[in-house]
Amino acid sequence: MLPKTAGGASLNRPAEEESNEIFMDPLCLGDIEFFVFDKKFYHKIQGVKYKMSEAAIAQKQLLVEELTTKIQESASVVVVDYLGLTVEQVTELRKQLREAGVEMKVIKNSLMTRAAGAAGLEGMESIFKGPTAVAFSTEDVVAPAKIMAEFAKTAEKLEIKGGIIEGNVASKEEIEALAKLPNREGMLSMLLSVLTAPLRNVALAVKAVSDQKGEAA
Protein backbone atom coordinates (compact mmCIF):
# COMPACT_ATOMS: atom_id res chain seq x y z
CA MET A 1 0.00 0.00 0.00
CA LEU A 2 1.31 3.43 -0.92
CA PRO A 3 1.86 5.99 1.86
CA LYS A 4 -0.52 8.88 2.54
CA THR A 5 0.31 12.56 2.72
CA ALA A 6 -0.27 14.76 5.75
CA GLY A 7 -3.64 15.73 4.30
CA GLY A 8 -4.80 12.13 4.38
CA ALA A 9 -5.17 11.60 0.61
CA SER A 10 -3.48 8.50 -0.77
CA LEU A 11 -0.97 8.46 -3.59
CA ASN A 12 -2.86 6.07 -5.80
CA ARG A 13 -0.76 6.03 -8.95
CA PRO A 14 1.60 3.08 -9.54
CA ALA A 15 5.35 3.54 -9.29
CA GLU A 16 7.42 3.45 -12.45
CA GLU A 17 9.70 0.42 -12.32
CA GLU A 18 12.77 2.03 -13.89
CA SER A 19 12.83 5.38 -12.12
CA ASN A 20 10.97 4.35 -8.95
CA GLU A 21 8.93 7.57 -9.23
CA ILE A 22 5.29 8.19 -8.35
CA PHE A 23 3.36 11.09 -9.83
CA MET A 24 1.62 12.96 -7.05
CA ASP A 25 -2.04 13.84 -7.29
CA PRO A 26 -2.65 17.64 -7.22
CA LEU A 27 -4.82 17.23 -4.12
CA CYS A 28 -2.05 15.48 -2.21
CA LEU A 29 0.39 18.37 -2.01
CA GLY A 30 -0.10 19.27 1.65
CA ASP A 31 2.49 21.10 3.73
CA ILE A 32 5.49 19.23 2.36
CA GLU A 33 8.86 20.54 1.27
CA PHE A 34 10.01 19.99 -2.30
CA PHE A 35 13.51 20.12 -3.72
CA VAL A 36 14.76 20.42 -7.29
CA PHE A 37 16.47 17.48 -8.96
CA ASP A 38 17.18 17.37 -12.67
CA LYS A 39 14.90 20.42 -13.13
CA LYS A 40 11.92 18.55 -11.67
CA PHE A 41 10.19 18.71 -8.30
CA TYR A 42 10.60 15.71 -6.03
CA HIS A 43 9.70 14.70 -2.50
CA LYS A 44 10.99 11.68 -0.62
CA ILE A 45 8.65 9.60 1.52
CA GLN A 46 9.95 6.46 3.20
CA GLY A 47 12.92 6.29 0.84
CA VAL A 48 10.79 6.38 -2.32
CA LYS A 49 11.14 9.28 -4.74
CA TYR A 50 7.94 11.05 -5.77
CA LYS A 51 7.57 13.50 -8.61
CA MET A 52 4.91 16.21 -8.78
CA SER A 53 3.57 16.53 -12.30
CA GLU A 54 3.60 19.82 -14.16
CA ALA A 55 -0.20 19.84 -14.05
CA ALA A 56 -0.10 19.57 -10.25
CA ILE A 57 2.39 22.43 -10.01
CA ALA A 58 0.24 24.59 -12.29
CA GLN A 59 -2.90 23.80 -10.30
CA LYS A 60 -1.19 24.69 -7.03
CA GLN A 61 0.05 27.99 -8.48
CA LEU A 62 -3.44 28.79 -9.78
CA LEU A 63 -4.90 28.22 -6.33
CA VAL A 64 -2.30 30.53 -4.76
CA GLU A 65 -3.18 33.23 -7.30
CA GLU A 66 -6.89 32.86 -6.53
CA LEU A 67 -6.23 33.15 -2.80
CA THR A 68 -4.03 36.20 -3.38
CA THR A 69 -6.85 37.92 -5.25
CA LYS A 70 -9.33 36.97 -2.53
CA ILE A 71 -7.06 38.49 0.13
CA GLN A 72 -6.61 41.69 -1.86
CA GLU A 73 -10.35 42.07 -2.44
CA SER A 74 -11.33 41.42 1.18
CA ALA A 75 -12.09 44.21 3.65
CA SER A 76 -11.01 41.83 6.39
CA VAL A 77 -9.78 38.27 6.82
CA VAL A 78 -10.03 36.34 10.09
CA VAL A 79 -7.98 33.19 10.74
CA VAL A 80 -9.16 30.72 13.38
CA ASP A 81 -8.24 27.34 14.84
CA TYR A 82 -11.35 25.18 14.55
CA LEU A 83 -9.95 21.91 15.92
CA GLY A 84 -12.37 20.33 18.38
CA LEU A 85 -15.57 21.86 17.00
CA THR A 86 -18.39 19.43 16.34
CA VAL A 87 -19.95 19.04 12.91
CA GLU A 88 -23.05 20.81 14.20
CA GLN A 89 -20.99 23.74 15.47
CA VAL A 90 -19.11 24.11 12.19
CA THR A 91 -22.39 23.98 10.26
CA GLU A 92 -23.93 26.67 12.46
CA LEU A 93 -20.82 28.86 12.24
CA ARG A 94 -20.79 28.63 8.45
CA LYS A 95 -24.49 29.51 8.40
CA GLN A 96 -24.00 32.64 10.50
CA LEU A 97 -21.05 33.77 8.41
CA ARG A 98 -22.84 33.09 5.13
CA GLU A 99 -25.86 35.13 6.24
CA ALA A 100 -23.49 38.05 6.90
CA GLY A 101 -21.92 37.73 3.46
CA VAL A 102 -18.74 36.12 4.82
CA GLU A 103 -17.09 33.11 3.18
CA MET A 104 -15.21 30.57 5.32
CA LYS A 105 -12.74 28.07 3.88
CA VAL A 106 -10.37 25.46 5.30
CA ILE A 107 -7.08 26.08 3.48
CA LYS A 108 -3.61 24.58 3.79
CA ASN A 109 -1.24 26.84 5.71
CA SER A 110 1.49 26.68 3.08
CA LEU A 111 -0.87 27.98 0.39
CA MET A 112 -2.19 30.81 2.57
CA THR A 113 1.35 31.82 3.54
CA ARG A 114 2.38 32.01 -0.11
CA ALA A 115 -0.79 33.90 -1.06
CA ALA A 116 -0.30 36.40 1.77
CA GLY A 117 3.29 36.96 0.67
CA ALA A 118 2.16 37.50 -2.92
CA ALA A 119 -0.35 40.07 -1.63
CA GLY A 120 2.51 41.95 0.05
CA LEU A 121 1.76 40.77 3.59
CA GLU A 122 4.72 39.49 5.59
CA GLY A 123 5.01 37.90 9.01
CA MET A 124 1.90 35.71 8.85
CA GLU A 125 3.77 32.42 9.23
CA SER A 126 2.96 32.30 12.95
CA ILE A 127 -0.75 32.77 12.20
CA PHE A 128 -0.92 30.07 9.55
CA LYS A 129 -0.03 27.15 11.81
CA GLY A 130 -2.10 24.21 12.97
CA PRO A 131 -5.70 23.56 11.86
CA THR A 132 -6.71 26.69 9.97
CA ALA A 133 -10.03 28.06 8.77
CA VAL A 134 -10.14 31.44 7.05
CA ALA A 135 -13.10 33.82 6.85
CA PHE A 136 -13.15 36.38 4.01
CA SER A 137 -15.39 39.46 3.99
CA THR A 138 -15.42 41.76 0.97
CA GLU A 139 -17.85 44.36 2.35
CA ASP A 140 -18.30 44.37 6.12
CA VAL A 141 -14.90 44.73 7.77
CA VAL A 142 -16.30 43.94 11.23
CA ALA A 143 -18.62 41.00 10.48
CA PRO A 144 -16.18 38.04 10.46
CA ALA A 145 -14.40 39.18 13.63
CA LYS A 146 -17.67 39.86 15.47
CA ILE A 147 -19.27 36.56 14.47
CA MET A 148 -16.16 34.55 15.37
CA ALA A 149 -15.77 36.29 18.73
CA GLU A 150 -19.43 35.81 19.62
CA PHE A 151 -19.41 32.18 18.54
CA ALA A 152 -16.27 31.49 20.59
CA LYS A 153 -18.14 32.48 23.75
CA THR A 154 -20.16 29.26 23.54
CA ALA A 155 -17.71 27.18 21.50
CA GLU A 156 -14.53 27.27 23.57
CA LYS A 157 -12.57 25.21 21.03
CA LEU A 158 -12.80 28.00 18.47
CA GLU A 159 -9.72 30.21 18.75
CA ILE A 160 -8.99 33.41 16.84
CA LYS A 161 -5.36 33.41 15.65
CA GLY A 162 -5.15 36.72 13.79
CA GLY A 163 -5.98 38.02 10.35
CA ILE A 164 -5.94 40.96 7.98
CA ILE A 165 -7.74 44.28 8.40
CA GLU A 166 -8.01 46.50 5.32
CA GLY A 167 -4.78 45.19 3.83
CA ASN A 168 -2.75 45.11 7.05
CA VAL A 169 -1.67 42.10 9.11
CA ALA A 170 -3.63 42.00 12.38
CA SER A 171 -2.84 40.18 15.61
CA LYS A 172 -5.31 38.15 17.64
CA GLU A 173 -5.76 41.12 19.98
CA GLU A 174 -6.48 43.49 17.09
CA ILE A 175 -9.09 41.13 15.63
CA GLU A 176 -10.75 40.85 19.04
CA ALA A 177 -10.76 44.65 19.36
CA LEU A 178 -12.33 44.91 15.90
CA ALA A 179 -15.06 42.50 17.02
CA LYS A 180 -16.18 45.00 19.66
CA LEU A 181 -16.97 47.68 17.07
CA PRO A 182 -20.45 48.03 15.56
CA ASN A 183 -21.02 46.09 12.37
CA ARG A 184 -21.56 47.80 9.02
CA GLU A 185 -25.24 48.47 9.65
CA GLY A 186 -24.48 49.82 13.11
CA MET A 187 -21.77 52.11 11.77
CA LEU A 188 -24.06 53.44 9.04
CA SER A 189 -26.75 54.11 11.63
CA MET A 190 -24.27 55.99 13.83
CA LEU A 191 -23.00 57.99 10.85
CA LEU A 192 -26.54 58.86 9.82
CA SER A 193 -27.28 60.06 13.35
CA VAL A 194 -24.21 62.31 13.32
CA LEU A 195 -25.06 63.74 9.90
CA THR A 196 -28.74 64.32 10.58
CA ALA A 197 -28.41 65.71 14.11
CA PRO A 198 -27.35 69.24 13.01
CA LEU A 199 -30.08 69.32 10.36
CA ARG A 200 -32.63 68.28 12.94
CA ASN A 201 -31.48 71.07 15.24
CA VAL A 202 -31.71 73.61 12.41
CA ALA A 203 -35.20 72.42 11.53
CA LEU A 204 -36.31 72.77 15.15
CA ALA A 205 -34.82 76.26 15.36
CA VAL A 206 -36.57 77.35 12.15
CA LYS A 207 -39.83 75.94 13.42
CA ALA A 208 -39.42 77.80 16.73
CA VAL A 209 -38.78 81.11 14.93
CA SER A 210 -41.78 80.51 12.70
CA ASP A 211 -43.98 79.79 15.71
CA GLN A 212 -42.83 82.98 17.43
CA LYS A 213 -43.64 85.06 14.34
CA GLY A 214 -47.03 83.46 14.15
CA GLU A 215 -47.77 84.36 17.76
CA ALA A 216 -46.57 87.95 17.24
CA ALA A 217 -48.87 88.37 14.26
In a domain, 185, yes or no: no
Strands 35-37 and 40-45: antiparallel
If asked whether residues 87 and 2 sit together in one domain, one would say no
Neighbours of 129 (CB within 10 A): 14
Contact of 83 with 142, CB cutoff 8 Å = no
In a domain, 207, yes or no: no
pLDDT, tens digit, 9 for 90 and up, residues 162-209 = 999 999 999 999 999 999 987 655 554 544 454 445 555 555 555 565
How many domains are there within the chain? 2
CATH of the domain at 142: 3.30.70.1730
Provide the pLDDT for residue 194. Answer: 45
Provide the pLDDT for residue 60. Answer: 87
Contact of 123 with 78, CB cutoff 8 Å = no
- Rounded distance, CA 113 to CA 101, Å? 24
Q: Identify the CA nearest to 22 among candidates 13, 35, 10, 33.
A: 13
Provide the pLDDT for residue 35. Answer: 37
If asked whether residues 163 and 112 sit together in one domain, one would say yes
pTM value > 0.85: no
pLDDT < 70 stretches in the chain: 1-52, 183-217
| Residues 81-106: b if buried by 16+ CB within 10 A, e if exposed | bbeebeeebbeebbeebeebebebee
